[in-house]
């Protein structure tokens, strides 16, 4: 009954689900960044003709999911489950996208870890025999996130140098029980780890311990080391969090070498004034759906690990004096 | 690969997961209601000595999950996944409970449908071979919900007669691949259905079409009829939504007979001034964990269906003029 479980937190797939296709839609800032050419579509502005940023984010998510279906020439009728999540209260971007998609819908919340979480759970549903095709979609939007979590963007408040810039972007992957493409071979579901960081302008620091914990547990469960992976990409710790995660892994005796990077470090360059890097569900979603998938398909990466990292606070919990709990979920993709 | 899929939306379990135990913790109003004696624990007030309702709700969820583990004499180390969700922004009740539980954690959001959704996905993870034991926990709290979704309770605003009262309660079930107890034999994952209801004081009406759709699809997929179930309990439509769901099913040629009721109708009586009944993730969670589980175990109910119903709006989406999308997820439990 329990044969696919390895160690404490990891599952290994008997028939590894295939990533049939991936697609990403991003805003202009992301399009101007170093990964600009890897995205499926770049919007000219964050509204794209919609009446609110919230409506625009939900439409962006739909576009990404439709893009993934189109790439694989898979019709809606062939999808067994849609799995989605985002950062907004009550995950409305996903809910309203699901209304348009009219598919059996499983909503998830893992903050910025949602892409990896959805891919992990979706793979279990496929390998478990419950679905042939699962459509995963995740989004975030700079302006919807700013006004919900921080300050109205119209106010033009100065951002802390440790803050990360929420990506405007939606990424989607279509997972399938058969077909050609990279395969998801294992997944590690993370535990909530809290090192008592309370600074909402330094979420990389809050999430770093959870990412380190998940990488350690994954390697322990699988009896592997970081060098066995061509790439380990967290998403999204930013520059400060990535440094801290490396440091924590080093303290635990693990050398991550040069393979460990972060989607929040990759997506913008220094000229883009994004301070500590990028964050938001959409960040790891579009970096994975674009850059990482292309590198796996080209053969540059034979084995990659995406470690989605989520800060599981809310504005209310922070106002009530709580620290920021973090979580990391890992999925391993082989070309 | 896809042998466990039946019809368009339903999955049937090859080795139906066992509900090893269930436990519920509720507030005083729920304890005074007609189901009062079926709950595991009744708090004397909604704070229970904590400094905020939000902290209290998270503690209540932990108590319920600990209660389910204790009932089954299962230790934390034996749990493979914790699955939880609630109504608060960024599901903080669940996140902070997961911090204390320190278990591999999958966060879900399905509004009031979260109990059924978690049981459905948890059962797939077990039957798929990825877990031996999955701990499911879901909570809501009248006072945290009121101040987030509606008005500060201190204001004492008059409630509409069509409004439902959010239950203060947390319910938990411990699902396992083996052992003695009722079994989850099938599940139907719902689609988002929106009949353009915009009245946030009448969420039963917003959710009724989704519940009707899921019951219809479940019966079609399984080639069964409502009379094949001793109980079909939606959770939570309240009195108005239940009437509308019955009407919609009748229009589709389905007679639900006397077996169809609603957790939001069961939990309070007319003397409790709850208007259209109860709502909140915790409602179906505690009614299922208490009353329904007891009736299944006693043999009164041989086959029951829980149809979790969620209203997938947010205060922001409503202020922006959106209607309220609904969803219904069904799980079938056999004694």
As to burial, measured by CB atoms within 10 angstroms (0-12 exposed, 13-18 middle, 19+ buried), residue B216 is middle
pLDDT 10s digits, B135-157: 999 999 999 999 999 988 889 89
**Residue B199: its pLDDT value, please?**
95
Judging contacts by C-beta atoms under 8 Å, the chain B residues touching residue A80 are 2, 5
The yes-or-no verdict on residue A3 having pLDDT over 80 is no
The yes-or-no verdict on residue B257 having pLDDT over 90 is no
**Residue A153: its pLDDT value, please?**
87
pLDDT 10s digits, A224-263: 999 999 999 999 999 999 999 999 999 999 999 889 999 9
Which run of H or E residues covers position A303? strand A303-311
Q: Which of B192, B213, B280, B328 is the best residue to mutate to test the A interface, defined by the most A CB atoms within 10 Å of its own CB?
A: B192
Q: Give me the architecture of the A5-176 domain, per CATH.
A: 3-Layer(aba) Sandwich (3.40)
Mean pLDDT of B158-166: 94
| Cβ neighbours of residue B259 closer than 8 Å, sequence gap 6 or more | B226, B227, B229, B230, B231, B232
**Residue B1: its pLDDT value, please?**
40
pLDDT 10s digits, B56-98: 999 999 999 999 999 999 999 999 999 999 999 999 999 999 9
Measure A291 CA to nearest chain B CA, in Å: 27
Report the range of poorest mean pLDDT among A52-56, A317-321, B1-5.
B1-5
Q: Copy the structure tokens of residue A73.
A: 């020439």
Compute how many other C-beta atoms are within 10 angstroms of the C-beta atom of residue B335: 17
Report the range of poorest mean pLDDT among A174-178, A285-289, B149-153, B268-272.
B149-153
- Residues B55-69 as b/e (b if ≥16 CB within 10 A, e otherwise) read bbbbbbbbbbbbbbb
Judging contacts by C-beta atoms under 8 Å, the chain B residues touching residue A194 are 99
How far is the CA of A233 from the CAs of A59, A217, A301, B80, in angstroms? 27, 16, 12, 25
Q: At what angle do helices A203-222 and A238-251 cross, to 10 degrees?
A: 40
* Binary contact (B2, A107; C-beta < 8 A): no
| Superfamily designation of domain A183-334 | Stage V sporulation protein AD (3.40.47.40)
pLDDT 10s digits, A161-205: 999 999 999 999 999 999 999 999 999 999 999 999 999 999 999
* Binary contact (B1, A15; C-beta < 8 A): yes
**Residue A19: its pLDDT value, please?**
98
The dihedrals phi and psi of B130, each to the nearest 5 degrees, come to -95, -10
- Nearest CA among A165, A324, A169, A170 for reference residue A238: A165
> Taking phi first (over 0 means left), then psi (-120 to 50 degrees means alpha), and beta for anything else, what does residue B147 get?
alpha
Compute how many other C-beta atoms are within 10 angstroms of the C-beta atom of residue A7: 15
Judging contacts by C-beta atoms under 8 Å, the chain B residues touching residue A8 are 104
- Nearest CA among A73, A167, A66 for reference residue A114: A167
Minimum Cα–Cα distance from A12: chain B residue? B130
* Binary contact (A130, B5; C-beta < 8 A): yes
- The Cα A73–Cα A67 span in angstroms is 10
| Sign, Cα dihedral of A142, A147, A150, A151 | positive
- Distance, first Cα to last Cα, chain A: 28
**Residue A219: its pLDDT value, please?**
98
* Binary contact (A109, B108; C-beta < 8 A): yes
**Residue A152: its pLDDT value, please?**
86
Compute how many other C-beta atoms are within 10 angstroms of the C-beta atom of residue B230: 16
- Nearest CA among B123, B101, B97 for reference residue B14: B123
B54: nearest CB among A3, A127, A320? A320
**Residue A257: its pLDDT value, please?**
86
* Binary contact (B109, A90; C-beta < 8 A): yes
pLDDT 10s digits, B34-50: 999 999 999 999 999 99
**Residue B26: its pLDDT value, please?**
98
Which residues make up the CATH 3.40.47.40 domain(s) of chain A?
5-176, 183-334
Minimum Cα–Cα distance from B147: chain A residue? A316
| Cβ neighbours of residue B137 closer than 8 Å, sequence gap 6 or more | B61, B64, B65, B68, B82, B83, B84, B94, B97, B118, B170, B171, B172, B285
**Residue A88: its pLDDT value, please?**
98
3-class secondary-structure state, position A250: helix
pLDDT 10s digits, A200-230: 999 999 999 999 999 999 999 999 999 999 9
**Residue B152: its pLDDT value, please?**
86
Helices (H) and strands (E) in chain A, counts: 11, 15
- Residues A46, A49, A55, CA angle at the centre, nearest 5°? 70
* ipTM for the predicted complex: 0.98
Q: What is the mean pLDDT of chain A?
A: 97
Q: Copy the structure tokens of residue B259.
A: 């077996």
The yes-or-no verdict on residue A324 having pLDDT over 60 is yes
The yes-or-no verdict on residue B2 having pLDDT over 60 is no
* Binary contact (B320, A55; C-beta < 8 A): yes
pLDDT 10s digits, A61-74: 999 999 999 999 99
pLDDT 10s digits, B295-325: 999 999 999 999 999 999 999 999 999 999 9
| Cβ neighbours of residue B247 closer than 8 Å, sequence gap 6 or more | none
Measure B277 CA to nearest chain A CA, in Å: 22
For tokens 């993370």, the residue is A190
**Residue A2: its pLDDT value, please?**
46
3-class secondary-structure state, position A311: strand
pLDDT tier at B3 (50, 70, 90 boundaries)? low
**Residue B166: its pLDDT value, please?**
97
Q: What is the mean pLDDT of chain B?
A: 97
């Amino acid at each position: 009954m329990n044969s696919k479980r390895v160690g404490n937190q990891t599952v290994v797939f008997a028939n590894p689900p295939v990533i049939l296709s991936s697609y990403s839609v991003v805003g202009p800032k992301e399009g101007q960044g170093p990964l600009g050419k890897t995205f499926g579509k770049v919007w000219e502005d964050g509204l794209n003709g919609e009446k609110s940023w919230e409506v625009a984010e939900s439409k962006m998510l739909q576009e990404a999911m439709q893009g993934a279906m189109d790439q694989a020439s898979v019709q809606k009728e062939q999808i067994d489950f849609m799995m989605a999540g985002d950062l907004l209260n009550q995950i409305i971007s996903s809910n309203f996208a699901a209304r348009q998609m009219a598919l059996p819908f499983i909503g998830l919340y893992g903050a910025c870890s949602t892409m990896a979480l959805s891919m992990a759970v979706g793979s279990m549903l496929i390998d478990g025999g419950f679905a042939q095709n699962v459509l995963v979609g995740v989004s975030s939007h700079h302006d919807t996130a700013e006004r919900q979590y921080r300050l109205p963007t119209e106010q033009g408040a100065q951002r802390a140098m440790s803050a990360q810039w929420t990506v405007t972007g939606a990424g989607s992957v279509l997972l399938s029980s058969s077909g050609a493409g990279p395969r998801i071979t294992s997944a590690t579901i993370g535990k909530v780890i809290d090192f008592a960081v309370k600074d909402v302008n330094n979420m990389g620091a809050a999430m770093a311990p959870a990412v380190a914990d998940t990488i350690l547990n994954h390697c322990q469960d699988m009896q592997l080391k970081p060098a066995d992976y061509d790439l380990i990409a967290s998403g999204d710790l930013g520059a400060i969090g990535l440094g801290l995660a490396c440091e924590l892994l080093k303290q635990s005796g693990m050398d991550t070498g040069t393979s460990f990077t972060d989607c929040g470090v990759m997506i913008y360059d220094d000229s883009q004034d994004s301070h500590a890097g990028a964050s938001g569900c959409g960040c790891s979603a579009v970096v994975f759906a674009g850059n990482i998938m292309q590198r796996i398909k080209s053969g540059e990466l034979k084995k990659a690990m995406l470690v989605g990292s989520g800060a599981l606070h809310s504005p209310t919990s922070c106002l009530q004096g709580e620290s920021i709990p973090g979580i990391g979920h890992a999925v391993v993709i082989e070309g």
